[in-house]
Structure 1
Amino acid sequence: MTTLILTVVAFFIGIDDISTKLFRRPLLIAPIVGFILGDMQAALAIGATLEIMWMGVGNVGAYMAPDIITGTLISTSLAIISRGSGSLSDTVATAVALAVPTALLSQQLLVLIETVNVSLNSWAHKLADNADVKGTRWLNYPPAILTGLARALPTFLALQFGSEAIQKALEVLPTFIIDGLGVAGKIIPAVGIALLMLSMIKKAELWLFLILGFVLAAYLELAILPITLIALVVAYLYDLGTRTTPQVASPEVSTFDVEDDDDEVYDL
């Protein structure tokens, strides 16, 4: 029953990924899995870890990024199911180990799905040329269903046959690919954070705050909470220092003539 529920959830999250995009991040997907499986503690820890790991991953142009949705669904589910009396850190490590290969394997399935979806473009052009609004609306359903199945089918197979099925699929891959996945798993978190900083830190002077945070963490060995409190104070002072006060122009007193009915002139 749990496998069926998670498969349905995977289907609708897959559809959400090409529509509202509300639940496509690991930090949101993992708690849903944890709620269904009854282990929110492990789910939150896994979701936070995978979120940092895949923070900067996204589709750019024609590049199809690893499927972080399927990777999160499968890795979180299998890690929680196999947890037993294991420690939280071991559970998170298991999820991370499963997340990268499952996301990369599902990536190839998404490439196939998108190839099929592209074939619908000519049909869409014909409908648009004929002003067939109803037909164009119905044309949204096939890509949505295929994308949902692209997430639901791997999730069902992984949960039904366990991590052994994934292990067998990995055994077919050449050794250099497995080694590459291991290296990628270590590099991806750093790349994700770097891409996030490049998109957020637009001004050169803002890099000074990054250096300050590095010094506080690496050399002064402060914990996250005091660094956060110091960052709040520095951010507030920076906002005060850079805030511009609007200049209000003072009215100028001008001299003009006013004539009354008796043609007398008064200077004001």
Structure 2
Amino acid sequence: MSTFIITVLSFFISIDDVSTKFLRRPLLIAPIIGLILGDLQASLAIGATLEIMWMGIGNVGAYMAPDIVSGTIISTSLAIMSRGNGDLETAVATAVTLAVPTALLAQQLLVLIETINVSLNGWARRLAEKADVKGTKWLILPPALLTGVARAFPTFIALQFGSGAIQYVVDSLPDFVIDGLSTAGSIIPAVGIALLMTSMIKKAEMWVFLVLGFVLSAYLELDILPITLIALVFAYLYDLVTKKSANTNNEVGTVEEEEEEYDL
């Protein structure tokens, strides 16, 4: 019964992930799994550990990050089910061990789902041309349902037959499928970051900050924290200069308007 409940839960959390995004973090998902399986203590520890481990993970542009939703649900469930009378540290270690490969495997499945979702672009374009606002409500259903099934099915397989079942399914896939997903997973991050940079670095002076960040990272070999602090200083100075320049232009414009009024 618990397997069925968790499978249904993974389906609805997946829909939440592509809509409101209220329950997509491990710190929120794991305790719900713990309440279902009757081990809240272990689930809290597992959720906190996975949250720290995946705190910085997120989709950037078209990049599809490892699926922390499936990774949390499956790893937490299997760790609690296999815990028995074992200690808490062992359960957490088991969850972490299962979470990483599960999230990476689910990532490839989501890449496939997103590729299928691209076929809806034509439908969306026709709705936009007709200004059919009501029709767009139906447009969100196929991606949501596909994402829900893409997470619910592996969850059921893993809980029903163990984590080895997922690996067996993956190993049974043809090589061209695995190679295609791997290639897409390698290209999409670069395309996503390029699109993001194109939209963000529209002004010529912004490229100076990109070069500065590259020098700090590649040549000075600074860590993320000092680079972030340096970036904050430059961002603050840039904001001050921009606001001062805007105020100066406004004052000049006001003076010119007053002079024109006197001339009249």
TM-score by length of 2: 0.65
* Matching residue of 1:217: none
Correspondence 1:134 to 2:134: yes
Cα deviation, residue 128, structure 1 = 1.4
Amino acid at match of 2:144: A
Amino acid at match of 2:136: T
Residue pair 2:71, 2:103 contacting (<8 A) in 1 also:
yes
Please identify which structure carries the higher helix content.
Answer: 2
Amino acid at match of 1:38: G
Residue pair 2:157, 2:166 contacting (<8 A) in 1 also:
no
Correspondence 1:97 to 2:97: yes
Residue pair 1:56, 1:195 contacting (<8 A) in 2 also:
no
* Matching residue of 1:218: none
Give the paired residue count. Answer: 185
Q: How does 1:199-210 map to 2 (within 5 A)?
A: 203=232
Q: How does 1:34-183 map to 2 (within 5 A)?
A: 34-166=34-166, 168=168
Equivalents in 2 of 1:146, 1:170: separation in Å?
A: 19
Q: 1:136 to 1:198 in 2, by over 3 A?
A: farther
Cα deviation, residue 170, structure 1 = 7.5
* Matching residue of 2:261: none
Q: 1:133 to 1:172 in 2, by over 3 A?
A: closer
Unaligned runs of 5+ in 2: 174-222, 234-264
Cα deviation, residue 200, structure 1 = 8.5
The Cα RMSD (Å) is 2.4
User: More deviation in 155-164 or 102-111?
Assistant: 155-164
Q: Deviations over 1:73-103 (max 9, x none)?
A: 0000000001001110000000000000000
Amino acid at match of 2:72: T
Secondary structure, counterpart of 1:64 in structure 2: coil
* Matching residue of 2:31: 31
Q: Which has the larger radius of gyration?
A: 1
Cα deviation, residue 135, structure 1 = 1.7
Unaligned runs of 5+ in 1: 174-193, 205-268
TM-score by length of 1: 0.64
Residue pair 1:7, 1:156 contacting (<8 A) in 2 also:
yes
Equivalents in 2 of 1:83, 1:201: separation in Å?
A: 46
Q: Deviations over 1:129-181 (max 9, x none)?
A: 112222221111111111111111111110111123145468789xxxxxxxx
Secondary structure, counterpart of 2:20 in structure 1: coil
